[in-house]
Amino acid sequence: MSYIFGHPEIKQVGTQGQGPLFEGKRCLVTGASSGIGYGIAERLLQRGAGEVWLCSRNEGRMRAAAEKLNKAYGRVRWTAVDVRDAAGLAKFADDMAAEGPIDFLFANAGVSMIRAFEETTREELDSVMEPNFYGVVNADQAVIGHMLRQGGGHVLNVASMEGYTPNGYHSAYVASKHAVIGLTESLRYEYASRNIRFSVICPGAVVSNIWGRDDQGNVHPEVKAPEGALTELESADEILAGIEEGRNIILVTDTARTTWEKQRQAPESAERWAVRYTERNRQAAERAKNS
């Protein structure tokens, strides 16, 4: 098996959404109460998934999201569990596997933090690494034994375009997402001979609660995603299309694809991008510090 880090061709992957790949499949989605996770869940149901099992740490938001999807489509099971809770995730996966195969896992949950590195405590670093990296580890380990016993499956871990780009004053988040890419690419080789696929999803700006979630997990709805961010359903369209195309690394948004291309073909342009965004983050960190 040759090593291909993602795919070299950078293009709009499209929103065809017509293939039978997801029909009848049983899918588990973490971080599913809003944003990318919710969008994936809705598109899977629209595409004929047999069951979609959803979880998120906030019971009220997860309940509301699940009830909305069940009213529209049915076939939804859910629980409130934090991705940092390895035992809770394992039980949720065990309950799902007791009733049938786990065909797809979408490990999607995370937080962000903009802060000067010298002002960031170890506890604050851990508060980002725990959900963003170890939350993915926990979800993957919750399903991998079941997928081995059933003879296969597909694990999709959500990273970020900042998993392959630097960004000052965002070091904890960037480090966590680089770790997710490294983990996923390594597991892709480890389990390839045992019929378990691994892909990593690298979005740019997508409308979600991550933009307004503070370090304590509280959501501030007045804080909006950047102008031009994809909607949750638009991002899900690109993700499912990337799965259909057999991509190892699924780049979501034109910005993510352009940045990938620039890093490899025009590194000086990528350098200017990193400098510009570092300055933007510095200003944001100063405003937060002085507020």
Indicate which CATH number applies to the domain containing 218. 3.40.50.720
| Res 8: pLDDT | 36
In a domain, 280, yes or no: yes
How confident is residue 225, by pLDDT bands cut at 50, 70 and 90? low
How confident is residue 227, by pLDDT bands cut at 50, 70 and 90? low
| Res 110: pLDDT | 87
In a domain, 196, yes or no: yes
Kindly report the pTM of this predicted structure.
0.89
Find the catalytic residue in 164, 169, 173, 191.
173
For 113, the domain range is 26-290
CB 200 within 8 A of CB 163: yes
| Res 290: pLDDT | 84
| Res 98: pLDDT | 98
| Res 18: pLDDT | 59
Per-residue pLDDT averaged across 133-137, rounded?
98
Task: Say how far apart CA 100 and CA 98 lie, in whole Å.
Answer: 6
SS3 of the chain: the string is CCCCCCCCCCCCCCCCCCCCCCCCCEEEEECCCCHHHHHHHHHHHHCCCCEEEEEECCHHHHHHHHHHHHHHCCCEEEEECCCCCHHHHHHHHHHHHCCCCCCEEEECCCCCCCCCHHHCCHHHHHHHHHHHHHHHHHHHHHHHHHHHHHCCEEEEEECCHHHCCCCCCCHHHHHHHHHHHHHHHHHHHHHHHHCEEEEEEEECCECCHHHHECCCCCECCCCCCCCCCECHHHHHHHHHHHHHCCCCEEEECHHHHHHHHHHHHCHHHHHHHHHHHHHHHHHHHHHHHHC
How confident is residue 148, by pLDDT bands cut at 50, 70 and 90? very high
Q: What whole-number percentage of the chain has pLDDT above 90?
A: 76
| Res 26: pLDDT | 98
Q: What are phi and psi of 154, to 5 degrees?
A: -135, 120
Q: What is the pLDDT of residues 92-130, one digit of tens each?
A: 999 999 999 999 999 998 898 999 999 999 999 999 999
In a domain, 42, yes or no: yes
Nearest to 128 by CA among 76, 72, 172, 77: 172
Q: What is the pLDDT of residues 13-56, one digit of tens each?
A: 444 455 689 999 999 999 999 999 999 999 999 999 999 999 99
In a domain, 147, yes or no: yes
Question: Would you call 173 a catalytic residue per the annotation?
Answer: yes
Q: Indicate the number of domains in the chain.
A: 1
In a domain, 19, yes or no: no
| Res 115: pLDDT | 94
In a domain, 7, yes or no: no
In a domain, 3, yes or no: no
Per-residue pLDDT averaged across 181-192, rounded?
97
| Res 16: pLDDT | 46
How confident is residue 205, by pLDDT bands cut at 50, 70 and 90? confident
Mean pLDDT of the chain: 89
In a domain, 4, yes or no: no
How confident is residue 276, by pLDDT bands cut at 50, 70 and 90? very high
